[in-house]
Amino acid sequence: MSMDGTVPGAPGVVVVGGGIAGQAVCEAVRELDALTPITLVCAEPRLPYDRVRLSEILVSGASCETLALRPAEWFTDHHVGTLVGRRVVEVRAAERLVVLDDGAELPYTALVLATGSDALMPPIPGIDQPHVHPFRGPEDCDAIRDAATTARHAAVIGGGLLGLEAARGIASQGCAVTVVHLMDRLMERQLDAGSAALLERALGMDVLFERQTAEIAPDRLRFAGGDELEADLVVVSIGIRPQAELGRATGCAVERGIVVDDGLRTTVDGVWAVGECAQHRGIVHGLVAPILDQARTAAAAICGDTTAAYEGSIPSAKLKVSDVPLVAIGATDGDGEVVSQDAGRGVYRKLVVHEGRAAGAILLGDVRGAEALLGLVRRGDEVEDPLAVLAASAEAGPAEWSDDTQVCDCNGVCKGQITAAVTEEGARTPREVMAMTRAGTGCGSCKATVVDLVALAAGGEVADEPAYLCPCKRQTREDLAAVVREQGLESVSEVSAACGTGRDCGACKPALAYLVSEVNANRHREERHARFINDRVHANIQKDGTFSVVPRMYGGVTTPEELRRIADVAEQFDVPLVKVTGGQRLDLLGVKKQDLPAVWEALGMPSGHAYAKAVRTVKTCVGEDFCRFGLGDSMGLGVELEKAWEGLHTPHKVKAGVSGCARNCAEATIKDVGLVAVGEGRWQVRVGGAAGGNVREADVLATVDSRAEALRVATTFLQLYRENADFKERTYDFVPRWGLDRIREEVLGEASGAALRERFRLAKAAVTDPWLERREPYHPRQFTDLDDEPAAAREPAVVGPPEEALR
Amino acid sequence: MIPVCSVDDVPAGEGRSIDVEGRRIALFNTPTGWYAIDHACPHAGGPLADGIAADCSVICPLHERRYALDTGAPIGHAGGPVATHRVQVLDGRVCVALGEDAGADDAAPAAAVAA
Ligand SMILES: Cc1cc2nc3c(=O)[nH]c(=O)nc-3n(C[C@H](O)[C@H](O)[C@H](O)COP(=O)(O)OP(=O)(O)OC[C@H]3O[C@@H](n4cnc5c(N)ncnc54)[C@H](O)[C@@H]3O)c2cc1C
Ligand code: SF4
Ligand code: FES
């Protein structure tokens, strides 16, 4: 049985291999012919997914499901039978029959081999060890990611596009990594020496050139020259090996890949080959764009078009994992070339000309005009004045492009098609256009351009993209908030039942918990099972399952008495580590869950909220009281701010800082909210700063005349963020998404600001110190496991501000 | 079957851990019934009883891997499964039978208990 419940068996098109090629063949055949039975056999245990975006999994740890090329319903809707986790082991071409691994037989009228390739693993001694991985499938990504969290030093063998992608992925896990390359420069097939050197500098990675790995030992690589590199995690990315075995066994001619003609036919009647397993005019293409061209041609040929011909593709590559923009198109050298280079800014732009025609281009650091140049090279346009062409390409924006300028290389979508989707077919949002044309749904690197073009076609009016709170609900935060409001829902279970599938989902329960509390101004039915463990026990879970406790010290200011108490508690409970946090607080690390209530009781200080999606700490400098530069009372204002915001939940954690002058010792300009004294009682209010994986300087929301006003503006902004950001959206994403102008309007506007502050007041009125639950737990076993003594039981209650505050 | 706790001991929708014959077990009280699985996440030993349970699965609090509560199968990731154990509710007591090779069929959930 196939996934859609139909029984495959009626002869039709059988596609072997559920990769990008296999999927594209199914779609292209279905577009030409609504009736022919199609069966897709996928050896991997899942429906086709976007292999190009695999490194996202490596970086984020997300599940491969998020990369599905089409949802499962697509196959049902389009009558494409799927056999998942099954493998074709034999083709009996004379009988037009394939045999599956469980012995089942499947007749066909046309057979398409889309078996792809494997990562090339050279026979280096030691390559079979468990710490050596290819970089090809989701399992590899999971394994590399896991290893990277504990490895001391990683090595990536291979300095091509994929190797660099793998190295970036590993580095993102905090693991040091060195790229080992056989050649003398990175990406030697796509780049010339000049651009490769600039790229190397821009990436800032450790690279060893001209090293041939002779042996992989458990903790190091040994090179042919005798030197060594420490490495307890090794990723090999030196190329692909087409999976041509099935083709060979079928009787097809096979060289590097399965040999095909311009109609993608193999040498065996009724058998086609498409994708990385196929060799066309001597070339095996390892990129998506040519594969999709091939799939369209093969589908036409299968559906009876005898003239359909694929004439090869111009390779073009984009580096997608880093903040270094890079596009390489076609040839790197010709009989003529122009280069414009600005090494200081890391910009390198080159146009290669051969026999008077555009033959290639390299754009690094500034990729404006990539689409236009690709079109030029693809058509092989004559180039009279290369310098002028290169200069003009950087000037032309999407508005000036011709309609046949290709925007999405992966799916071969031109500007004209995108425009038409808006002007003729009535698409309103980029997402709709992407669904209609498939532009931007491949590697995603053209998404921003698609958005621009949609805006252009729509005359600047683009409807907002739906950003679902969770895929399980297919509703945006606003949709859900509206339901909560209209139906008066008070708890996560009620929302779960009323929305989406009606079932609860672990992934979005915490987001819904925030939503019900926020929409109801904190007055809601608190269901602890919807909260992350940190919010169930009011401490921060650590990697060994113990917790860390951060008592609140407003503004980072403390007293000898408090310090003494903290020290006593640390001794009394054998706290293994006491640490000053980045937010100027004391962190007691390694506290057992069942000890938490006693620890708080002994501390007798409020919760530092260092564990929740909430207002965390306000960092301060010493300011005018003590500092000889101080222009304002940063400590005092910091304490005031922290008290005003204490205990409020927010979409993500909020960190604030107050500096007494522009020297900025509290680093207020890289905080979610930062206040900086600028003299004469005036304060700068800054929002949306970050000092994490990305550094973002906070924008100046306003400069105000008094301390009270600073507090007011900052608080109004906080409420705006609380009400409008998506769950887990930090201010540094929220501020640019909303735009500073709109935020200023809402926050500084008299009526809108007052309304925000009123809602803030209500939410704040409901705040209690969660640490008080030590005396009144919501359940006798709030803090204990089943082998510890439980606390006394208590009735669950509605939490919220006192009734009078609501009036 | 070893009685481990009373039905009131685990808050509705949550999990708690307990030692059963030297093995650390996580016990979940969910709307579709009671489930028992090993407490330590196969990934890096995360405390699964502290995870978020929903829709017959639990999400590990450390790195958010998901496991089916009834079969122990990993959901959406390529890690190994977590062992499951049989649960029965008798007279308000929750009882567990350790499954050494606790497989899928063994782990039919006990009836839901209103808490
Ligand atoms: C990490 C990564 C990043 C990449 N980035 C880019 C990029 O940015 N741009 C770009 O253009 N390209 C990129 N690529 C390359 C691109 O992903 C490949 O060119 C493309 O996916 C190949 O598709 P395919 O369908 O031919 O082969 P595959 O994806 O290999 O699919 C073949 C499928 O067939 C199955 N199969 C094999 N034999 C059988 C059988 N006998 N029975 C049933 N099933 C079988 C295999 O299990 C496999 O699922 C990247 C590749 C990787 C690994
Ligand atoms: S920011 Fe200015 S006021 Fe504050 S400590 Fe530094 S120098 Fe002094
Ligand atoms: S320990 Fe459970 S996901 Fe890592």
SS3 B78: coil
**Who has greater pLDDT, A208 or A451?**
A208
Query: Between A64, A505, A528, which is nearest B54 by CB?
Result: A505
What is the DSSP secondary structure assignment for residue A15, as one 8-state letter? E
Inform me whether the pLDDT recorded for A398 exceeds 50.
yes
Inform me whether the pLDDT recorded for B105 exceeds 70.
no
CA distance B50 to chain A (A): 6
> Residue A120 and residue A237: Cα distance in Å, rounded?
7
Inform me whether the pLDDT recorded for A737 exceeds 80.
yes
pLDDT band of residue A803 (cuts 50, 70, 90) is low
Interval A376-404 mean pLDDT: 83
Interval A284-289 mean pLDDT: 90
CA distance A126 to chain B (A): 24
Between chains, do B44 and A507 touch, taking CB under 8 Å as contact? Answer: no
The least confident of A160-169, A375-384, B74-83 is B74-83
| Contact by Cβ (8 Å): A309, A297 | yes
Handedness of CA B23, B43, A530, A765 (dihedral sign): positive
At A637 the pLDDT is 97
Between chains, do A545 and B47 touch, taking CB under 8 Å as contact? Answer: yes
Residue nearest to atom 3 of ligand 3 (CA): B63
Instruction: Give the bridge partners for B6, in sequence order.
Output: B93
* Greatest C-alpha distance within chain A: 93
- How many A from CA of A719 to the centre of ligand 2? 28
Digit-coded pLDDT (tens) for A623-676: 998 999 999 999 999 999 999 999 999 999 999 999 999 999 999 999 999 999
**What mean pLDDT value characterizes chain A?**
89
Residue nearest to atom 1 of ligand 1 (CA): A54
With a 6 Å cutoff on the Cβ, whether A340 touches ligand 2 is: no
Inform me whether the pLDDT recorded for A60 exceeds 60.
yes
- Chain A residue numbers with beta carbons less than 8 Å from the beta carbon of B4 are 786
At B61 the pLDDT is 93
Residue nearest to atom 3 of ligand 1 (CA): A52
The least confident of A319-333, A357-371, A453-467 is A453-467
* Ligand 1 mutation target, pool A20, A56, A112, A240, most atoms within 8 A of CB: A20
**Who has greater pLDDT, A264 or A321?**
A264
Handedness of CA A463, A468, A471, A475 (dihedral sign): negative
Between chains, do B47 and A138 touch, taking CB under 8 Å as contact? Answer: no
Interval A175-180 mean pLDDT: 93
* Ligand 2 mutation target, pool A664, A678, A683, A684, most atoms within 8 A of CB: A664
Torsion on CA atoms A396, A399, A405, A407, rounded to nearest 10:
100
Name residues whose C-beta falls within 8 Å of residue A509's C-beta, 6 or more positions apart in sequence.
Answer: A492, A496, A529, A530, A531, B52, B54
Task: Please identify among residues 586-645 of chain A the ones whose CB lies closer than 8 Å to any CB of chain B.
Answer: 593
Residue position matching structure tokens 């793998």: A166
* Greatest C-alpha distance within chain B: 39
At A792 the pLDDT is 56
Between chains, do A505 and B58 touch, taking CB under 8 Å as contact? Answer: no
pLDDT band of residue A2 (cuts 50, 70, 90) is very low
* Ligand 1 mutation target, pool A55, A106, A108, A276, most atoms within 8 A of CB: A276
> Residue A249 and residue A624: Cα distance in Å, rounded?
83
Inform me whether the pLDDT recorded for A793 exceeds 90.
no
Interval A218-240 mean pLDDT: 94
At A476 the pLDDT is 82
Inform me whether the pLDDT recorded for A309 exceeds 70.
yes
CB neighbour burial string for A380-393, b if at least 16 within 10 angstroms, e if fewer: eeebeebeebbeeb
| Contact by Cβ (8 Å): A624, A586 | no
The least confident of A443-447, A688-692, B3-7 is A443-447
pLDDT band of residue A395 (cuts 50, 70, 90) is confident
Inform me whether the pLDDT recorded for A59 exceeds 90.
no
> Residue A305 and residue A307: Cα distance in Å, rounded?
6
Digit-coded pLDDT (tens) for B35-67: 999 999 998 899 999 999 998 999 999 888 889
Interface test with A, best of B55, B66, B75, B85 (most A CBs within 10 A): B55
CA distance B43 to chain A (A): 8
Between chains, do B45 and A506 touch, taking CB under 8 Å as contact? Answer: no
Residue position matching structure tokens 């290389």: A409
Any B CB within 8 A of A153 CB: no
Interface test with B, best of A145, A544, A785 (most B CBs within 10 A): A785
Nearest bound ligand to CA A658? 2
Q: Residue A313: is it exposed, middle or buried by C-beta count within 10 angstroms (0-12/13-18/19+)?
A: buried
pLDDT band of residue A442 (cuts 50, 70, 90) is low
**What percent of chain A has a predicted confidence (pLDDT) above 90?**
61
pLDDT band of residue B109 (cuts 50, 70, 90) is very low
Any A CB within 8 A of B11 CB: yes
pLDDT band of residue A10 (cuts 50, 70, 90) is low
Any A CB within 8 A of B12 CB: yes
The least confident of A36-45, A253-262, A492-501 is A492-501
| Contact by Cβ (8 Å): A699, A670 | no
- Chain A residue numbers with beta carbons less than 8 Å from the beta carbon of B50 are 533, 536, 541, 545, 593
Query: Between B4, B57, B61, which is nearest A786 by CB?
Result: B4
Any B CB within 8 A of A545 CB: yes
At A390 the pLDDT is 87
> Residue A493 and residue A504: Cα distance in Å, rounded?
7
At A353 the pLDDT is 92
Digit-coded pLDDT (tens) for A469-513: 776 677 788 888 999 999 999 999 999 888 877 778 888 899 999
Instruction: Give the bridge partners for A119, in sequence order.
Output: A240
CB neighbour burial string for A432-443, b if at least 16 within 10 angstroms, e if fewer: bbbebbbbbbbb
Name residues whose C-beta falls within 8 Å of residue B111's C-beta, 6 or more positions apart in sequence.
Answer: B33, B89
pLDDT band of residue A800 (cuts 50, 70, 90) is low
CB neighbour burial string for B21-31, b if at least 16 within 10 angstroms, e if fewer: eeebbbbbbbb
Closest CA to A202 of A239, A166, A164, A169: A164
pLDDT band of residue A464 (cuts 50, 70, 90) is low
Digit-coded pLDDT (tens) for A580-626: 998 999 999 999 999 999 999 999 999 888 899 999 999 999 999 89
Side chain identity at residue A503, one-letter code: R
Closest CA to A721 of A664, A790, A655: A655
Between chains, do A509 and B52 touch, taking CB under 8 Å as contact? Answer: yes
At B100 the pLDDT is 63
pLDDT band of residue A791 (cuts 50, 70, 90) is low
At A174 the pLDDT is 83
What is the DSSP secondary structure assignment for residue A463, as one 8-state letter? P
Q: How many CA atoms lie within 13 A of A50 on its CB side?
A: 22
> Residue A274 and residue A49: Cα distance in Å, rounded?
17
Ramachandran bin of A5, using left for φ above 0, alpha for ψ from -120 to 50, beta for the remaining angles: left
At A555 the pLDDT is 95
Inform me whether the pLDDT recorded for A141 exceeds 90.
yes
Inform me whether the pLDDT recorded for B104 exceeds 60.
no
SS3 A722: helix
- How many A from CA of B47 to the centre of ligand 3? 8
Closest CA to B95 of B30, B40, B36: B36
Interval A365-370 mean pLDDT: 84
* Ligand 2 mutation target, pool A659, A667, A669, A684, most atoms within 8 A of CB: A659
Interval A776-797 mean pLDDT: 76
Tokens of A721: 């963020």
